[in-house]
Structure 1
Amino acid sequence: MTTTQRSESINNQFKRHFGRKLTFLKFIEEFELAVNKFREKELYEDHKSKNFTPNVRVPSMPMPMDAVKEYTRTIYADFEEECLSQISCICELVTSNEDSHFYRVSPPEEFKVAYVTYNVSDYSLECFCRKFETFGILCMHGMKVLTHNKVLMLPSRYIQK
């Protein structure tokens, strides 16, 4: 979650609970209620993540099976969406040398084309979309390149804890 997203999320929480004409005492009471609700929800989600494994929609694919063991339910849901999206992508080799390959990965929506550099020796990826660097989840473009190169297990460097 980026700083901007976190800020917007917090602002939305405040807007739900607070009116503009609250007294200071009422504001404190409402603030405590909001914080308690937030904490309860977080504890509930933590409990679900620790005690219940989400249903894997693609159990025949090794990458989601690796990810479901490592990620929280929310993060796993995002990862699984990326995994399902990569299935329909087209992966084309643009250039290549001994150490790395440069790919053009295009989903059915042609305007979302991304370019990925893949290092053969250490399975590292660098995607122009920067989803992994921004959100900590491997993007569909990177997954497609790994799959294209017959890397079926999720490299440990792409599991952030």
Structure 2
Amino acid sequence: MLSIHKLWVPSYFHDIPMCCLMKTTSRCESSNSMFKVTSGSTNTLVQFLMCFDTAIDNQRYNQRVVEFKSKSTTCSFKIGLHLEVHAAKIYTQTIFKDVQKEIYNCMINCFITNVDVVDNFKVYTVSQMDNRSDFVNHFKVSVHMLEHSYECSCMGFTRVGYLCRHIFCVFRLHQIKNIPDRYISNCWRKGSLPSHVYSLSQRLSVDNMEVSVLRNEVADCVNECVDHLAFNVDGLSSFNQKMKELKGGIS
């Protein structure tokens, strides 16, 4: 193992995008664990397919619950910076807690100690302190002044998929209030799954008759509108009134 340590020690992979990476072994283990709940080795093919459908339905239900909680629950803020508020709007709750920790540490433990200008780059030296207020490490944040791009020597964004505390420290200096879109991974966003995953046609047996397709589309559209307006009293009231007008026109 020591002779091939360059193939498995994480420090050798700082320059390789590894966010959202799922190892083959972990994928197999999680799949086996999920199917063991509803299926067994003695099942017939028909029984396995029925168990498979049950497991997928459970996954979609759990995902739906998590999506609803992420959209409807108000996050608690530690600092109240615009960056923190913006992160709460775009990230799922789980990822927001990690990003919030980075933003908090950029305020408490990170300080810019030097600035160099090289060609079109500004290179900031961000010094990081530990809990005893001792400087324990120094990182270089390179800012391309024309392209407004940021890169840190810790390669945090490349490894985990969200910005590190050192770049947030430079954001604070530049008074940047929103995280740029180029540094927001789509997989961490709220509502990253396409809406058709939750459609009726995906949850029920597929019926290709024109009337069934239209009925499912109408039901999905109504559900999406209600979810979007879940805590908007004025919006829900207006939507409810329009639905009643449409219902009156039909009757």
TM-score (norm 1): 0.75
Task: Give the structure 2 partner of residue 35 of structure 1.
Answer: 56
Name which one, 1 or 2, has greater alpha-carbon Rg. Answer: 2
- Shift, 1:75, TM fit: 2.2
CA distance in 2, matches of 1:72, 1:10: 25
CA contact (8 A) 2:87 2:179 kept: no
Would you say 1:81 and 2:101 are equivalent positions? Answer: yes
Counterpart AA for 2:121: S
Gaps of 5+ in 2: 1-18, 187-251
**Which segments of structure 1 move beyond 4 Å, counting only runs of 4 or more?**
26-33, 109-113
CA separation of 1:48 and 1:123: change in aligned 2, threshold 3 A: same
Tell me the CA shift for residue 89 of structure 1.
Answer: 1.5
Superposed displacement of residue 73, structure 1: 1.7
What letter matches 2:36 in structure 1?
F
2:66 pairs with 27, 34, 45, which one?
Answer: 45
Alignment of 1:64-143 (within 5 A): 64-87=84-107, 88-93=109-114, 95-97=116-118, 99-109=120-130, 113-143=138-168
Whichever residue aligns with residue 23 of structure 1, its letter is T
Given residue 166 of structure 2, which amino acid in structure 1 is its aligned partner?
H
Over the aligned positions, Cα root-mean-square deviation in angstroms equals 3.1
Give the 3-state SS of the residue equivalent to 2:143 in structure 1: strand
| Farther off after superposition, 96-105 or 67-76 | 96-105
Given residue 144 of structure 2, which amino acid in structure 1 is its aligned partner? Answer: N
Q: Could you say what secondary structure the match of 2:129 adopts?
A: coil
What displacement does 1:5 show? 5.3
How much identity, in percent, do the aligned residues show? 22
Query: Displacement of 1:64 after TM fit?
Result: 0.5
Gaps of 5+ in 1: none
The one-letter code matched in structure 1 to 2:100 is E
